[in-house]
Amino acid sequence: MQTSPPYLFHLSNAQGLNIDFAPPSLETDGFVHLSASHQVLRTANQWFQKASELKILVLETEALQDRLKWEDSYQKGEEFPHYYGPLPQDSLKAVAVLSRDAQGQWVWPATLSGLQSPLLDAPTEEAGVIEPSLRFREKKLPKNCVLCFFQEVLAKLSSVEGAERHLSLGSEIGATEVVTLPFKGQTLAVCYPGVGGPLAGATLEELIALGCQNFVLCGGAGSLVKEQTLGHLVVVESALRDEGLSHHYRPASERIPVRSELVSRFSKKLSELGVEHTIGPTWTTDALYRETPSRIARRREAGCLTVEMELASLLAVAQFRGAELGALLYCGDDVGSENWDFRDWTSAHTVRERLFWLSAEMLG
């Protein structure tokens, strides 16, 4: 069954400023024809080629749920949304007029460009052609795992008594080793997830297939708040989804949360250990070099304390697979001031090693 995206669309050739909430199809077909974003232009150019004008109504899906059905009425292997009744007026969020290109084809209105992305297509529960469980059939790893971004910390783990280099996960950039080590009566897996949501998400998929279920991410992040000094610790409560991968696992939304009980547990443990910290959201982006001043300002106004490139993706994968994931981030470079300050954050080795062991404590 199709999962609905946050917005659906209705094409109307009603003249002028009129909005027809009960178009003729309601009487002839018994329902109002709707489209998802990726279906709009195909529908417009197939069925409205002769229309003199064409409007697109943006409808909030949540207000349509009582009479909304996805159906393959023409038996062509594709379901379209149908609404069985007059459109609720409170579902209408915007109206725009379509224009034609030089070839006479209807084109998407520039004013609605943010709603056209294929990333807004709702994900399904359908299994992938390449499922991690098909590649990794044996659960070899312990349940608890630290995802660590600090290469200098990872390099030292081989000297920990009882540590074992367990296996390697591979990609075109080379092998990524998984280390297991004893810690306070349990065995921990430790792995470098890789930079960026796609690689980190794939690594997490494979770790889950291999038996890991409880994860703590420890990493550095850009600080959006200039008062947050180098090394300041943030317990992440949610991630703003300004990246791509999470939308293939979870329906579109502004943020993806960390389970509140997990956030509270991390904060309590840190307080018991005398570690100062802040709880708040992070901004996950794919575009390191497009963290512009205006976008940074908007993210800061939305409450984000840090910016990084993986967490929304990792949270989406974990939740899709029924795993649990929380994150501890230390503030590295300053991107919240008028001028960027690198602050030599990648050389804060003491901070980074301490954060790794704190992350292990969170799994105890």
Q: What is the pLDDT of residues 85-94, one digit of tens each?
A: 999 999 999 9
- Give the model's confidence band at 123: pLDDT under 50 very low, under 70 low, under 90 confident, else very high: confident
Of 14-18, 54-58, 157-161, 241-245, least confident by mean pLDDT is 14-18
Angle between helices 311-321 and 197-209 (to 10 degrees): 30
Instruction: Decide: 72 and 23 in contact? Cβ < 8 Å.
Output: no
* Residue-averaged pLDDT of the chain: 92
**40 in Cβ contact with 108 (< 8 Å):** yes
pLDDT tens readout for residues 247-256: 999 987 889 9
Query: Does residue 107 carry a pLDDT above 80?
Result: yes
In this predicted structure, the answer to whether residue 2 has a pLDDT above a threshold of 70 is no
pLDDT of residue 62: 92
Q: What superfamily does domain 7-120 belong to in CATH?
A: Protein of unknown function DUF952 (3.20.170.20)
Query: Residue 141 is encoded by which pair of tokens?
Result: 């790893």
Question: Is 321 exposed, middle or buried (CB count within 10 Å of its CB: 0-12, 13-18, 19+)?
Answer: middle
Which class for 238: exposed (0-12), middle (13-18), buried (19 or more C-beta within 10 A)?
buried
Domains 7-120 and 132-362 share a fold: no
- Rounded mean pLDDT of 310-337? 97
Q: Which of these ranges, 106-110, 262-266, 312-316, 333-337, has the smallest mean pLDDT?
A: 106-110
203, 279, 282: which is closest to 242 by C-alpha?
282
Residue 43 CA to residue 211 CA, distance in Å, equals: 45
Report domain extents, the chain: 7-120, 132-362
Q: What's residue 1's pLDDT? A: 52
Domain 132-362 has CATH 3.40.50.1580: yes
Could you tell me what percent of the chain has a pLDDT over 70? Answer: 98
Asked if residue 289 has pLDDT above 80, the reply is: yes
Residue 81: its pLDDT value, please? 96
Can you tell me the distance from the alpha carbon of 203 to that of 220, in angstroms, rounded to the nearest whole number? Answer: 18
- Average pLDDT over every residue of 314-322: 97
285: tokens are 């982006």
Q: Which residue has 């409205």 as its token pair?
A: 48
Where does residue 177 rank: exposed (0-12), middle (13-18), buried (19+ CB within 10 A)? middle
The DSSP-derived string for 255-296 is EEEPPHHHHHHHHHHHHHTT---EEEEEEEES-GGG--HHHH
pLDDT at residue number 344:
94
What is the identity of the amino acid at 265? R
CB-based burial, 20-40: b 16+ in 10 Å, e otherwise: bbebeebeeeebbbbbbbebb
